[in-house]
Amino acid sequence: LAKTTQPISMDSYEGQEVNITCSHNNIATNDYITWYQQFPSQGPRFIIQGYKTKVTNEVASLFIPADRKSSTLSLPRVSLSDTAVYYCLVGGGSARQLTFGSGTQLTVLP
């Protein structure tokens, strides 16, 4: 199983861009990288998924270098409502590989 490493916590201010990096040195050839967001007392919510280079949607961007040993979730112009835990997941071949880890607690300050 590909193990992921993320910062435990990050602070930012409203309106800033936030980048959260995840390390996954043992990523397998067919593994995708997926990010989820979780608010208190709610289940996780899908944010973005990618395999290589860059993926962008209406919420975030995901940057994946050529060696795919890390990935960076970019949240443009964060607001207070972006305060949440963000999880990086690597895998796809089986449900057993869906390991969330401890995630990154992002706190957006006014």
Binding site for other proteins (CB under 8 A): 30-32, 34, 41-46, 49, 51, 85, 87, 89, 91-103
Residue 69 sits at the vertex; the CA angle it makes with 61 and 89, to the nearest 5 degrees, is 60
Within 13 Å and on the Cβ side, how many CA atoms surround 101?
25
- What is the smallest separation between the CB atom of 86 and other proteins, expressed in angstroms? 10
- What is the smallest separation between the CB atom of 20 and other proteins, expressed in angstroms? 14
Nearer to other proteins, 43 or 110 (CB): 43
Distance separating alpha carbons of residues 49 and 89, to the nearest angstrom? 9
Q: 62 has which bridge partners?
A: 55, 73
Nearer to other proteins, 30 or 81 (CB): 30
